[in-house]
Amino acid sequence: MIVLRLVAVACLTGIAAMAADAPTFNKDVLPILQKNCQECHRAGEVAPMSLLTYAEVRPWAKSIKAAVISRKMPPWFADPGFHFANDKSLPEADIATLAAWADQRFGGVSVKNVTVWQQGDAENAMNYWANGLDQKLVSLGAGKPAAAASAAN
């Protein structure tokens, strides 16, 4: 049992180290979408799909990457040599963040900020889900702590 716990801790530590600089949906991607995309990409607006939640955005990740790298989105047809107050074009840093998130194997889930709950603390877990955080409960056994992390796409 102790060996199993050590293996689980080692795995979580390794995943956390790999994901230390990886962009996450809620922390890195969502603010970019809110600032630059959601004006059109929401129900009832001109864009063909809504980009308000992780569940709505994740299936479009590769397409979003292609559209922002090619500067097809957000649409901005003015001469880039001039400054406009309402310029909707994305800075290079935002393009790099969206592209890096789209390329992630785990879909941008933050593993570096692991939250620990006691087994049976389902209310906290459900609150995390209801608030759109891209985490899920991973059980480590009855009566043992459980960690919020996810490899869900």
> Is residue 118 within a helix (H) or strand (E), and if so which, with residue range?
strand 115-118
Crossing angle of helices 61-69 and 92-103, in 10° steps, is: 150
Indicate the pLDDT class of residue 95, thresholds 50, 70 and 90. very high
* pTM of model > 0.85: no
d(CA 102, CA 104): 6
Q: How is the chain split into domains, by residue range?
A: 1-19+105-153, 23-103
Would the CA dihedral through 109, 112, 118, 123 be positive or negative? Answer: negative
Indicate the pLDDT class of residue 16, thresholds 50, 70 and 90. low
Residue linked to tokens 């080692």 = 10
pLDDT digits (tens, 9 = 90+) for 116-126: 445 455 555 55
Q: Which residue has the higher pLDDT, 84 or 14?
A: 84
Indicate the pLDDT class of residue 87, thresholds 50, 70 and 90. confident
